[in-house]
Amino acid sequence: MSRTKVAVIGSGNIGTDLMIKVLRGSRHLEMGAMAGIDPASDGLARAARLGVPTTHEGVDGLIALPGFDEIEIVFDATSAKAHQANAARLLPLGKRLIDLTPAAIGPYVVPAVNLDDHLDAPDVNMVTCGGQATIPVVAAVGRVVPVQYAEIVASIASKSAGPGTRANIDEFTETTSAAIERVGGARRGKAIIVLNPAEPPLMMRDTVFCLVTAPDPATHDEIRRSVEKMVADVAAYVPGYRLKQQVQIGEIPAGRPVGTLLPDGDGDGVRPTHQVSVFLEVEGAAHYLPAYAGNLDIMTSAGLQVAERIAARKAGR
C-alpha cells in the first residue's frame, strides 16, 4: 500500500511524539524527514536512530534534503513566529502544512467538529491543546441550543509546558478564544490556561462553561446526549479523552449578573437561563511524552488525524 510521506519541523516534545506516532501506528503515512535547529536535541538523535532523515538547519535544511520532493505533508511543531517563516518557504513549493502552533495563518481545524470543511486547505491550524479538548464540547452544546457565552479553563502540568508552550501563552488565549467562536459556534468565547506546578504532575484537566437559554428540561437531556456523543468521537482518535463526571446543567439565579459576559451586554435582550458545566480529563498515550502530558498528546493526535484523513482521501480509501 502506497503511503503519503510526511516531515516534521521541530524536534522538541511535540515533534518527537508526532514522529513516533507516525512510525508506530499510522495507517496512511510514512516519515520522510525530521528538521530541527538544535543538533543536540533528543528528537533529532532519536529520529536518526530510527532511520529517519534529519537536519538541524530548520526549514532550509529540510528543503535541501534528498527526497524532499516526495514529501507531501509537513507538520510544524515550532512556534507561532517560526511558522510564519516556514509557511512562506513551504507553501510556494506545494507542501500541505499542518500547523501545531498558535500562528493561525490557515483555518482552525478541530477534527471532530470541522475537519471535512478544510481537507483542501493548504495550511490548517490545530488551534491549541485547550482548544482541541474543549471546542468539541462547545460545538456539541451548540448543536442543541445556541451558546451565548463559552468559557474554557485548561489546566496542564507545569512540567509538560516546555519553552515553546510558554513562549506562546499569549497566543494560546487569543487563538483559543477566537476558535471557540469560529469553530465552536459560541457568540462569545473566553480561554484561560493554568500551569499547575503540583508534584507529582497532574493530568490535563479542562472545564467548559456554557451559558444558554434552555428552560425546557427535555433540552437538558439532549445537551447531555450531544456532549457524550462528541466525547466518544474525540476519544476515537485521542483514547485518553474522557468525561470526569456527568454533564451538569444548573439554573442561573435571577440575581446573578451575566450581562458583562455576553457579546453585546444583554444577549439581544435574551438572558441565558442555564449554565452547562463539563469537566474533562486528557491522559496521554505515553508514546514519547509522559501520560500526564495529555495537553501535548491531544495536539499530536489531532494533527495526525488530519494528515491521515488527507492521505486516505488522496488514496481513495
| Binding-site residue set for NAD(+) | 11-14, 160-168, 295
Can you name the residues that pair with 54 across neighbouring β-strands?
34
Task: From the candidates 22, 44, 129, 204, give the one annotated as an active-site residue.
Answer: 129
Place of cell 439581544: 268
Can you name the residues that pair with 275 across neighbouring β-strands?
211, 250
Cell numbers describing residue 270: 435574551
Strands 248-251 and 274-282: antiparallel
Can you name the residues that pair with 256 across neighbouring β-strands?
none
Cell numbers describing residue 2: 502506497
Q: Residue type for 113, please? A: V
Q: Specify binding-site residues.
A: 11-14, 160-168, 295
Among residues 197, 163, 157, 191, the alpha carbon closest in space to that of 282 is found at: 157
Cell numbers describing residue 90: 513551504
Helices (H), the chain: 13-25, 42-49, 58-64, 80-90, 111-114, 129-142, 163-167, 169-182, 217-235, 294-314
Q: Is 210 a catalytic residue?
A: no
Cell numbers describing residue 288: 514519547
Active site positions, annotated: 129
